Copies of this chain bind each other. A is one copy, B any other.
Amino acid sequence: MTTKKDLQTLVMMASRENNISSILFRNAVRNKVGLNITDSECLSFLGIKGVLTPKDISHYTGLTTGSTTAMLDRLENAEFIRRKPNPDDRRGALIEIHEKWVETSRPLVAGLQKEQAELIASYSDTELEIIADFLTRFTNNVKKHTQMIEDGLI
């Protein structure tokens, strides 16, 4: 009983440590490269979401549209992102990562990515299914509550 409870606490704490560690890693990278925290977050979002509109980016980062424009100017100037015309809406733009950012960040992140891939490869299919299931459900809860806060339901 106490064992099971401890195990549950362990997973909860491991999950929080995991999130914090990813932030600390990003901070280490950005300090090395000389990026501020929002610019770095923006590149992270683009890295996982792919192409985004400035509107999306201002939503994700919590910046105003004015700040987002200024940030995209900085990142475009550094050749870390690229503005493309949005074929579906001529008012807007589409933002994508520039190859130069991939090249700049690669030496700092490639080693970790390789080790994480090896770690994952060391688990059986059954285990991976459990892990993927857990992460997905956990993330879905987070997304749901994020939406609730944004909608003013909390």
Contacts from A to B (Cβ < 8 Å): 3-4, 7-8, 10-12, 14-25, 27-32, 37-38, 41, 44-45, 48, 60-62, 107-108, 111-112, 115-117, 119-121, 123, 125, 127-132, 134-139, 141-143, 145-146, 148-150, 154
Alpha-carbon distance between A128 and B4 when the two chains are bound, in angstroms: 9
Q: Is the CB of A150 within 8 A of B28?
A: yes
Complex contacts, A145 vs chain B, CB 8 Å: 25, 111-112, 115
Query: Which DSSP category, helix, strand, loop or mixed, fits chain A's interface?
Result: helix
Taken together, the copies of this chain in the complex come to: 2
Q: Closest 7 CB pairs between A and B?
A: A14-B135, A112-B145, A28-B149, A21-B142, A27-B62, A19-B22, A7-B128
A115 CA / B117 CA spacing, docked (Å): 29
Contacts of A127 in B (CB 8 A): 130, 134
Q: Known contacts A4-B125, A17-B48, A131-B131; can you find 17 more A-B pairs with CB under 8 A?
A: A7-B128, A8-B128, A10-B128, A14-B136, A17-B135, A19-B22, A21-B142, A25-B145, A25-B146, A25-B149, A27-B62, A31-B62, A108-B154, A111-B154, A112-B142, A127-B134, A130-B131
